[in-house]
Amino acid sequence: MKPRFKLALFSAVAAGLVSLPSQAQSPAEKVYVPHGKHDEFYAFLSGGYNGQLSVYGLPSGRLLKVIPVFSVFPMNGYGYSEETKAMLMTSHGFIPWGDTHHPELSQTNGVPDGRWIFINENNTPRVARIDLKTFETTEIIEIPFSGGNHASAFTTPDTKYVTAATRFSVPIPQKDVPIAEYKKYFKGTLTFIRADKPGKMDIAFQILVPGYDYDLAHCGKGPSYGWCFFTSYNTEQAHTLLEINASMKDKDYIAAVNWKRAEECIAQGKYKEVKTKYAHNYRPEDTRIARTEWKTSVKWIIPKECPGVVYYLPTPKSPHGVDVTPDGKYIIGGGKLATVIPIHSFEKMINAIKNKQFAGEVEGIPILKYEAVNHCELPNPCLGPLHTEFDGRGHAFTSCFISSDVVYYDYKKCKILGHVPTYYSVGHLMIPGGDSAKPWGKYLLPMNKITKDVFLPTGPELPHAGQLYDISANVENTKPQFLLDLAELGEPHYAQAIPAKILAPKSQKIFELEKNKNPYVTRSEEEAKVVRKGNEVHVYMTAIRSHFVPDNIEGIKVGDTVYFHVTNIEQDWDIPHGFAVYGAKTSNLLIMPGETLTLKWKPEKPGVYPYYCTDFCSALHQEMQGYVRVSPADAKLPFKFKYGTGDEMHIVK
Ligand code: RUQ
Ligand code: CUA
């Protein structure tokens, strides 16, 4: 290029008159988001064994937030404050940890709409809803009759249901039986959770299925609306040495569930109501106090008694992921041990059902003939195919664990277009909207299991690495361009992304003090008070730049249980206050503007204990402190508190 032309082109580009072909920009230019500009996408990456969900900006790869879901989070008091403890309640009691796998955005007409994001917990089967106005976990439902909730939390295109299933089949109902009698006692359940009404998550029904390992799911859309698909492995029903014993058969199954049919059976009373106990935890917008509601039964559908509700599609070999193309016409299985990628046709499946092209039956579930449902087998794709996402242009991208790459292909023509490397051993991959009816495309993010030499070494434990690729040019003739290595938190299994322009305008800035319905709210400093009820002391405290009211408290005695109900009375965006008291066996609280949070404290020894704000909130943040005096249990000290030189205030006995 001649220098003068280069200059002219540069000014034309700068003036926004000409846009350069995307491949003409360097990776650094493509991921650089200058000060004053924001990222184009929010990306939500599960944290796996950290039990959380991380929020990144794309393309910069900046970590914006960690949302605690199934694990306590000392950073803001989630799971420690009295208002949030109940979120982690289960039928096994309070559980401070969970294993998050698959985030899934709520959808309208098959397109992510930015209302909520759901995510599953694998270990103690649960599903959570995160409200995307506040980026907070607001609801968690436990799933009974399940073990290892992995094929979850995938949504129907209208968010009517999200899915759950047993990855580990278990005795259903649970009982004390010899493990060797697996085949006799162990069963699986496929669960549909009603999810479109906040605060009212509910198990609509469970389908009782043979005791295999149900691994992943995705629901149909467009022509396949009304169906969801679940992979299974271990159809051998092994209970020991699964790496060999569950890899014997050439094909396992994808279970195709007709949930419309299930609804009919429920309406006709073809179900069994079974007694059990499971937790439904909800944190409403007004009180912001999480409460546990105990649910006591579920509806079971037995496939024999509801014909047409489930069919098995034979699928090679120990399939992991199952993904439905944006047009809803094809179902792609990722057979970990398979040498091909099987692409099933929904239309063929429906015809096979009509024409009864069955190869057998298990427990009332017809097995369809493989040839009758298979659209094609993508030959020699890669080694260890797992998961598939779509760019919305007719191309599928499948992650391949063993060969550490992503293969991309035309799924209708069954034609491979190319491969890109991953570093290393990719698990899930994500394209914004890539499992929806209308992918936004643009980026591809494979998320890897093994990092090795990608980043500076940090001892034996390394962050997982993701690789961001540009797929904005049609991959038919342009290879994806490598952009960035992303250091991830925990182990991201699946991820989701949505354009910032959908989400950012909805983001809530404060909680309105007026609307705060916490019974311990203190709306003004005049209302601050300390109330004793026997051995319980309730401190109604306010926080504002740069003091607490009260800031001196006397009359607490050893043996008291003190509840600090701290209301942040600021009404200004991004001005949280923290609260911590010396010796408290809990985390700090991080209180948002307009919010009330409660810290429980049992002082054990007489003395004077400081408390302070943990978030540097103003030039006088260091002055934002107070003292609480603790006297011996038998002390006759008057109960008093104050702020400033004024008299003792608002003591309520
Ligand atoms: S997993 S790497 Cu979704 Cu939990 Cu596949
Ligand atoms: Cu409030 Cu620092």
Distance 611 CA to ligand 2 centre (A): 11
Distance CA 407, CA 401 (A): 11
Given a contact cutoff of 8 angstroms between Cβ atoms, the answer to whether 396 and 322 are in contact is no
117: nearest Cα among 219, 43, 228: 43
Q: Is residue 621 lining ligand 2, measured as CB closer than 6 Å? A: yes
The model's pTM is 0.95
Atom in ligand 2 nearest the alpha carbon of residue 578: 1
Distance CA 69, CA 351 (A): 42
Among 88, 90, 168, smallest CA distance to 122 is for 168
Nearest-angstrom CA–CA distance, 58 and 533: 52
Provide the pairing of β-strand 291-301 with 374-379. Answer: unpaired
Task: Round to whole Å and give the CA distance between 618 and 622.
Answer: 8
How much of the chain is in helix, strand and coil states, percent to nearest 5? 15, 45, 45
Q: pLDDT at position 210, please?
A: 98
The pick from 49, 99, 100, 101 for probing ligand 1's pocket by mutation, whose C-beta has the most ligand atoms within 8 angstroms, reads: 101
Residue 201 near residue 130 (C-beta atoms within 8 A): no
Nearest ligand to residue 580 Cα: 2
Is the pLDDT higher at 538 or at 14?
538
How sure is the predictor about 129, in pLDDT bands with cuts at 50, 70 and 90?
very high
> Residue 101 C-alpha to ligand 1 middle, in angstroms?
7
User: In this model, does residue 204 exceed pLDDT 90?
Assistant: yes
- Residues 265 and 485: their CA atoms lie apart, in Å, by 49
Mean pLDDT confidence for 165-186: 97
Sort residue 384 into left (φ over 0), alpha (ψ -120 to 50) or beta.
left
What's the pLDDT tens digit per position in 397-450? Answer: 999 999 999 999 999 999 999 999 999 999 999 999 999 999 999 999 999 999
**pLDDT recorded at residue 9:** 47
| CA torsion through residues 323, 326, 331, 332, sign | negative
569 lines ligand 2 (CB under 6 A): no
Q: Which atom of ligand 1 is nearest to the CA of 102?
A: 3
Q: How far is the C-alpha of 518 from the C-alpha of 540, rounded, in Å?
A: 11
Q: Is the pLDDT of residue 22 over 80?
A: no
Q: Which two tokens stand for residue 278?
A: 């499971």
Give the number of whichever ligand sits closest to the CA of residue 591: 2
Distance CA 179, CA 191 (A): 24
SS3 547: strand
What are the tens digits of pLDDT across the range 210-256?
999 999 999 999 999 999 999 999 999 999 999 999 999 999 999 99
Phi, psi of 107 (to 5 degrees): -130, 150
Q: State percent of the chain over pLDDT 90.
A: 93
Q: Strands across the sheet with 395-400, in order? A: 385-390, 395-400, 405-410, 415-421
Quote the radius of gyration of the chain (alpha carbons, Å).
28
Ligand 1 site, residue 395, Cβ cutoff 6 A: no
Confidence of residue 589 (pLDDT cuts 50, 70, 90): very high
189 burial type by CB count under 10 A (0-12 exposed, 13-18 middle, 19+ buried): buried
Atom of ligand 2 nearest to the CA of 546: 1
CA distances from 488 to 104, 165, 432, 469, 497 (A): 18, 27, 17, 16, 15
Which DSSP helix (H) or strand (E) runs through 188?
strand 186-194
C-alpha 468 – ligand 1 centre gap (Å): 19
From CA 529, how far away is CA 522, in angstroms rounded? 9
Whole-number Å distance between alpha carbons of 58 and 521: 38
Report d(CA 224, CA 313) in Å as an integer.
15
Averaged over 82-99, what is the pLDDT?
98
Mean pLDDT of 531-545: 95
Kindly indicate the confidence band of residue 637, based on its pLDDT and cuts at 50, 70 and 90.
confident
Distances (CA, A) of 393 to 303, 340, 412, 456, 471: 37, 22, 11, 37, 11
- The residue whose CA has the least distance to atom 2 of ligand 1 is 427
pLDDT digits (tens, 9 = 90+) for 323-351: 999 999 999 999 889 999 999 999 999 99
| 580 C-beta closer than 6 A to ligand 2 | no
Q: Which ligand is nearest to the CA of 611?
A: 2
Q: Is 22 left (phi over 0), alpha (psi -120 to 50) or beta?
A: alpha
Query: Which residues fall within 8 angstroms of residue 342, CB to CB, at 6 or more apart?
Result: 315, 316, 319, 332, 333, 335, 374, 377, 378
* Range 494-517 average pLDDT: 98
Task: Report which of 96, 191, 86 is spatially closest to residue 140, judged by C-alpha positions.
Answer: 86
Instruction: State mean pLDDT over 106-125.
Output: 98
Q: Is residue 464 lining ligand 1, measured as CB closer than 6 Å?
A: no
Within 10 Å of residue 180's Cβ, how many Cβ atoms? 9
3 burial (CB, 10 Å; 0-12 / 13-18 / 19+) is exposed
Residues 136-143 have a mean pLDDT of 98
Q: Is the shortest distance between the CB of 320 and ligand 1 below 6 Å?
A: yes
Instruction: Decide: 427 in ligand 1 pocket, CB within 6 A.
Output: yes
Q: Residue 215 corresponds to which tokens in the numbers above?
A: 């691994």
**What average pLDDT does range 299-307 have in this prediction?**
98
Q: What are phi and psi of 10, to 5 degrees?
A: -60, -45
pLDDT for 574-586, tens place per residue? 999 999 999 999 9
Q: Looking at ligand 1, which residue's alpha carbon is closest to its atom 1?
A: 493
The answer on pLDDT for 12 being more than 60 is: no
From residue 531, alpha-carbon distances to 180, 558, 564 in Å are 59, 16, 11
Position 15 confidence tier, pLDDT thresholds 50, 70, 90: very low
- The residues with which 553 forms a beta bridge, in sequence order, are 628, 641
Which DSSP helix (H) or strand (E) runs through 261?
Answer: helix 259-267
pLDDT at site 24: 78
Residue 505 has pLDDT above 90, yes or no: yes
pLDDT-wise least confident of 14-18, 378-382, 443-447, 485-489: 14-18
Q: What is the mean pLDDT of residues 272-278?
A: 98
Under the banding of pLDDT at 50, 70 and 90, the label for residue 647 is low
What is the residue-averaged pLDDT of the chain?
A: 95
- Confidence grade of residue 649 (pLDDT, cut at 50, 70, 90): low
Q: Concatenate the DSSP letters of all residues of 268-303 into one string.
A: TT-SEEEEEEEEEEE--TTT---EEEEEEEEEEE-G
The Cα angle at residue 159 between residues 391 and 505, in degrees rounded to 5: 70
**Other beta carbons less than 10 A from residue 187's beta carbon:** 17
pLDDT of residue 640: 75
401, 493, 496: which to mutate for ligand 1, most atoms within 8 A of CB? 493
Structure tokens at 140: 């968690």
Query: Is the shortest distance between the CB of 493 and ligand 1 below 6 Å?
Result: yes
